[in-house]
């Protein structure tokens, strides 16, 4: 079975992800969207990803 989740790549402050202070240290993180819709407000396509979770049926 394959489950697909839409994700976005975002630069966030590693110690305080909600911090939006200009010049704050950031690192890239993958942020899933549980609503199944696009995660972006811009047309930057490189920020959007589809995460595939593959499960193996042992039966």
pLDDT of residue 41: 65
- The residue-averaged pLDDT of 44-53 equals 79
pLDDT of residue 13: 93
* Global pTM exceeds 0.75: no
pLDDT band at 40 (very low <50, low <70, confident <90, very high): low
For residue 16, pLDDT over 90 is answered with yes
Strand partners for 3: 53
DSSP string of the chain, one letter each residue: -EEEEEEEEEEE-SS-TT---TT---EEEEEE-TTSS---SSS-GGGEEEEEEE-----
Query: How many Å apart are CA 33 and CA 41, to the nearest integer?
Result: 13
pLDDT of residue 27: 94
């Amino acid at each position: 079975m394959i489950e697909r989740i839409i994700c976005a790549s975002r630069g966030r402050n590693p110690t305080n992800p909600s911090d939006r202070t200009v010049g704050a240290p950031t690192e890239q993180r993958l942020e899933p969207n549980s609503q199944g819709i696009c995660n972006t407000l811009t047309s930057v396509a490189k920020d959007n990803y589809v995460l595939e979770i593959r499960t193996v049926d042992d039966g």
